[in-house]
């Protein structure tokens, strides 16, 4: 019987397999940031161990770095301690670090692909749940906890039980103006937040193949939001074109050998998935969340649902609680929901293509007088590229704020937070209670919806904007 | 991780059930970036009370905690185990432990000895009557002993074979994996040369 893509990648990394025990998996790339690594390094120190493969390890600062005044000392003492600890640990253990102020600094999941370190067929881990982003390249990539970070540092391996496999096949093409973000939000609303539990998911079908690498990363990024262990997409010409020429991509004969191998990383025709979901992209529309988990979403053209709309008692209770927290009334058209802050950024939608798309919509328009637009590039490289293209000027002229690179308002560990009761339209991936600041209310949206919402001040799509 | 065969140390009677990880170490103590130093957060909410058992000089230097049922419930924070170890505890004795806490303890080298509820009662009585009494926990024979003469306590405790083996050998997860270092090296020797690296020698 044939094998699926994820089984092929898995099998290539098994160091040791014993019946009744988890497989010992080799890890090709270990990404590190300041929040989940300090105790892992301290654990190494306490037991007199070292980093086995510092040449397969990369660290960057992202979660709590400020996006303004980044040349000054970090004001918050806990953030500063974490960042300084990472710097000391990187120095002591010989790990390559891109600190604040470095040209390669940025969100860990933006930096890996951008450097060309993220490649097909790899195993990639990081102490961060959105590591699944790297699956867009046909890699098995997943988030781990701090004791696992220590395990990978010491051994470059991780004991792992093989997850079950699922295919998500998205047939047809996305209509114009509908993005990868709408696709994945539609999927999560369909499956619920636990639908992918225990699975490695392969996204496939025409709509997936037609996505850019940025779009594929957006889809894989949110795999964890419906519970999947990891999500991946078979590498193809789009993948190879994206990687070629990047600083850490293979060169010359190595490139040819790599591409030859990567091209073999496809699910066999006779392979069987444990589970399969089929969706039709051509019926998808801009999609937004109304609740407090990423599965509580509806098309932008719909209204806020009523708890009565749900069959399951638990869903009704969850909806009721979410509506209270979000201060929304059932039956209100989503388009009438007024937004205070629009956040464009994060590892879901903070890459150059995202900023270009946002700028295209904002260009020549003015941000609504009662709305704040915050644009945070995913990395310093993205920021510099955008500035070279004049995108920063477009945002600033429209009345938006242009910031330095980092996670920023995605999780509000740095000073970029919502005030209690404030409402955001956010291109990030989590709308949990308080995620963007205590009492803050988050609507997850795509880039076009974020940009149009900034202009109109209520949840909107570019089609709602007056022509200019 | 140090191998654990048998341990004798001063026992502390913690007459409480359902001690959750938030009580073992409250969230405000988790901001640290090291793995040690958590002892000051251990049972922080209770330590302010002068009559709390750990504030009693007679139990100074204790290393065996005797607690009521359902010890370690609540959030899965590993810090709870570190806090107990940082304080000096080598063993926790209880009639029932929360699964995740027990798993985390085994991995970190803290012995969780599951005994009959009656044994805990007798240990509490003994340790309160004669503060400073030592408790011996023998992992090889899976027995708990304390006291002398007619009131002496001796009983067996439960621990799964795998965790017992790991503790006896002093193996943490990483130690076990490093035991397969040859397999890892053999795998590395076969990796394609075009696989990316973050730095070159
Ligand atoms: S941008 Fe958000 S989701 Fe992504 S790594 Fe940062 S905090 Fe996590």
pLDDT digits (tens, 9 = 90+) for B100-130: 899 889 988 999 999 999 999 999 999 999 9
Inter-chain touch B184–A157, beta carbons under 8 Å: yes
pLDDT band at A345 (very low <50, low <70, confident <90, very high): very high
Residues of A in contact with B200 (CB under 8 A): 55
Residues of A in contact with B31 (CB under 8 A): 78, 81
Is the CB of residue B51 less than 8 Å away from at least one CB of chain A? no
pLDDT of amino acid A73: 82
Pocket of ligand 1 (CB under 6 A): A 62-63, 107, 109, 128, 130, 346-347, 407, 410-411, 428-429
Q: Does B88 score more than 80 pLDDT? A: yes
Residue nearest atom 8 in ligand 1 by C-alpha distance: A130
ipTM of the complex: 0.94
What is the distance between the alpha carbons of residues A290 and A303, in angstroms, rounded to a whole number?
9
3 state SS of B199: coil
Is the CB of residue B3 less than 8 Å away from at least one CB of chain A? no
pLDDT of amino acid B77: 82
pLDDT of amino acid B201: 75
pLDDT digits (tens, 9 = 90+) for A6-39: 999 999 999 999 998 899 999 999 999 998 899 9
If one residue of A60, A67, A106, A130 were mutated to test the ligand 1 pocket, choosing by the most ligand atoms within 8 A of its CB, it would be A130
What's the gap in Å between A407 CA and the centre of ligand 1?
5
Three-state SS for A294-339 is CCCEEECCCECCCHHHCCCHHHHHHHHHHHHHHCCCCCCEHHHCEC
Which residues, 6 or more positions from A80, have their beta carbon under 8 angstroms from its beta carbon?
Answer: A73, A74
Q: Does B31 score more than 80 pLDDT? A: no
What is the model's pTM? Answer: 0.91
What is the distance between the alpha carbons of residues B190 and B193, in angstroms, rounded to a whole number?
9
CA quadruple B72, B74, B77, B82: dihedral, nearest 10:
-20
CB atoms within 10 A of CB A425: 29
Which residues, 6 or more positions from A169, have their beta carbon under 8 angstroms from its beta carbon?
Answer: A204, A205, A276, A277, A278, A279
What's the gap in Å between A33 CA and the centre of ligand 1?
11
What is the distance between the alpha carbons of residues A43 and A19, in angstroms, rounded to a whole number?
30
pLDDT of amino acid A351: 98
pLDDT of amino acid B26: 86
Alpha-carbon Rg of chain A, whole angstroms? 21
Query: How confident is the model over B168-185, as a mean pLDDT?
Result: 95
pLDDT of amino acid A74: 86
Tell me the β-bridge partners of A140. Answer: A123
pLDDT of amino acid A141: 98
Could you tell me the two tokens for A190? 């369909």
pLDDT of amino acid B76: 72
Could you tell me the two tokens for A176? 């114009």
What is the distance between the alpha carbons of residues B26 and A303, in angstroms, rounded to a whole number?
42
Q: Are A123 and A80 in contact (CB under 8 A)?
A: no
If one residue of A35, A62, A224, A351 were mutated to test the ligand 1 pocket, choosing by the most ligand atoms within 8 A of its CB, it would be A62
pLDDT band at A69 (very low <50, low <70, confident <90, very high): confident
What's phi and psi for A112, nearest 5 deg?
-55, -55
Distance from CA of B123 to the nearest CA of A (A): 33
Mutant choice from B28, B33, B37, B183 vs A, greatest count of A C-beta within 10 A: B33
Inter-chain touch B174–A47, beta carbons under 8 Å: yes
**Cα-Cα-Cα-Cα dihedral sign, residues A304, A306, A307, A309:** negative
Is the CB of residue B177 less than 8 Å away from at least one CB of chain A? yes
Q: Which residue in this structure is represented by tokens 């639908």?
A: A195
3 state SS of B68: coil
In this complex, the residue of A43, A157, A255 whose CB is nearest that of residue B35 is A43
DSSP letters of A118-157? --TT-EEEESSGGGGGGGGGT-EEEE--HHHHHHHHHHSE
pLDDT of amino acid A412: 81
Inter-chain touch A47–B33, beta carbons under 8 Å: no
Q: Does A302 score more than 90 pLDDT? A: yes
Nearest CA in chain B to A94: B199
Closest CA to A107 of A219, A221, A227: A221
CA quadruple A208, A215, A135, A38: dihedral, nearest 10:
-160
Q: Does A415 score more than 80 pLDDT? A: yes
pLDDT of amino acid B35: 87
Q: Are B113 and B105 in contact (CB under 8 A)?
A: no
pLDDT of amino acid B152: 94
Residues of B in contact with A15 (CB under 8 A): 180, 183-184, 187
Q: Which residue in this structure is represented by tokens 């120190």?
A: A45
What is the distance between the alpha carbons of residues A205 and A280, in angstroms, rounded to a whole number?
10
3 state SS of A201: strand
What is the distance between the alpha carbons of residues A340 and A436, in angstroms, rounded to a whole number?
13
Residues of A in contact with B199 (CB under 8 A): 54-55, 96
Is the CB of residue B196 less than 8 Å away from at least one CB of chain A? yes
Query: How confident is the model over B59-81, as a mean pLDDT?
Result: 92
Is the CB of residue B116 less than 8 Å away from at least one CB of chain A? no
DSSP letters of A38-106? HHHHHHHHHTT---TTGGGEEEE--TT--SSSTTSPPSSHHHHHHHHHHHHHHHHHT-EEE-TTSTT-B
pLDDT digits (tens, 9 = 90+) for B32-46: 888 889 999 999 999
Inter-chain touch B196–A248, beta carbons under 8 Å: yes
pLDDT digits (tens, 9 = 90+) for A170-228: 999 999 999 999 999 999 999 999 999 999 999 999 999 999 999 999 999 999 999 99
Average pLDDT, chain A: 96
Q: Does B96 score more than 90 pLDDT? A: yes
């Amino acid at each position: 019987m044939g094998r699926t893509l994820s089984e092929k990648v898995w099998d290539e990394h098994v160091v040791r397999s014993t019946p009744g025990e988890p497989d010992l998996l080799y890890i090709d790339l270990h990404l590190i940031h300041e929040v989940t690594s300090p105790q892992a390094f301290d654990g190494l120190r306490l037991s007199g161990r070292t980093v086995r493969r510092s040449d397969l390890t990369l660290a960057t600062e992202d979660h709590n770095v400020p996006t303004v005044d980044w040349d000054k000392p970090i004001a918050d003492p806990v953030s500063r301690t974490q960042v300084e600890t990472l710097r000391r640990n990187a120095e002591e253990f010989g790990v390559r670090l891109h600190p604040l102020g470095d040209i390669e600094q940025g969100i860990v999941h933006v930096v890996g692909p951008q450097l060309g370190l993220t490649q097909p067929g790899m195993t990639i881990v990081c102490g961060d749940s959105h590591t699944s982003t790297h699956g867009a390249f046909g890699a098995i990539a997943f988030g781990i906890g701090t004791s696992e970070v220590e395990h990978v540092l010491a051994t470059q391996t991780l004991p792992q039980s093989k997850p079950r496999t699922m295919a998500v096949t998205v047939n047809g093409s996305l209509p114009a103006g509908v993005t990868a973000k709408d696709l994945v939000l539609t999927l999560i609303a369909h499956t619920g937040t636990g639908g992918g539990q225990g699975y490695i998911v392969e996204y496939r079908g025409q709509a997936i193949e037609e996505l850019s690498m940025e779009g594929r990363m957006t889809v894989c990024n949110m795999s964890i939001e419906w519970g999947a262990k990891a999500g991946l997409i078979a590498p193809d010409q789009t993948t190879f074109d994206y990687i070629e020429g990047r600083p850490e991509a293979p060169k010359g004969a190595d490139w040819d050998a790599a591409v030859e191998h990567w091209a073999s990383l496809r699910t066999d025709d006779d392979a069987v998935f444990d589970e399969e979901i089929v969706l039709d992209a051509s019926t998808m529309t801009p999609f937004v969340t109304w609740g407090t988990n990423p599965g509580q979403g509806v098309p932008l053209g719909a209204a806020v649902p009523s708890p009565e709309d749900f069959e399951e008692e638990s869903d009704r209770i969850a909806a009721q609680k979410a509506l209270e927290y979000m201060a929304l009334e059932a039956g209100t058209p989503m388009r009438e929901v007024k937004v205070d802050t629009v956040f464009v950024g994060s590892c879901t939608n903070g890459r150059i293509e995202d900023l270009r798309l946002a700028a295209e919509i904002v260009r020549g328009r003015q941000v609504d007088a009662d709305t704040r637009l915050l644009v945070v590039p995913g990395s310093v490289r993205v920021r510099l590229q955008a500035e070279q293209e004049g995108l920063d000027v477009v945002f600033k002229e429209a009345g938006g704020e242009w910031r330095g690179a980092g996670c920023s308002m995605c999780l509000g560990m740095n000073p970029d937070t919502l005030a209690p009761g404030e409402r955001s339209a956010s291109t990030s991936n989590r709308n949990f209670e308080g995620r963007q600041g205590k009492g803050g209310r988050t609507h997850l949206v795509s880039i076009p919806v974020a940009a149009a919402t900034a202009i109109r001040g209520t949840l909107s799509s570019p089609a709602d904007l007056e022509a200019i | 991780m140090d191998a654990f065969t048998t341990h004798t140390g001063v026992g502390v009677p913690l007459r409480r059930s359902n001690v959750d990880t938030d009580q073992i170490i409250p969230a405000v103590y988790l901001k640290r970036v090291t793995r040690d130093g958590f002892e000051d957060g251990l049972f922080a909410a209770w330590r302010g009370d002068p009559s709390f058992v750990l504030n009693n000089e007679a139990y100074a230097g204790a290393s065996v905690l005797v607690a009521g049922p359902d010890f370690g419930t609540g959030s899965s924070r590993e810090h709870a185990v570190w806090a107990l170890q940082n304080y000096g505890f080598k063993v926790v004795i209880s009639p029932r432990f929360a699964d995740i806490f027990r798993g985390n303890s085994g991995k970190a080298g803290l012995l969780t000895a599951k005994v009959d509820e009656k044994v805990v009662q007798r240990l509490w009585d003994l340790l309160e009557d004669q503060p400073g009494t030592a408790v011996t926990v023998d992992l090889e024979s899976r027995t708990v002993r304390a006291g002398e003469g007619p009131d002496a306590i001796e009983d067996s405790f439960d621990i799964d074979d795998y965790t017992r083996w790991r503790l006896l050998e002093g193996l943490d997860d990483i130690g076990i994996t490093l035991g397969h270092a040859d397999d890892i090296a053999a795998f590395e020797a076969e990796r394609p040369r075009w696989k990316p690296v973050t730095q070159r020698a």
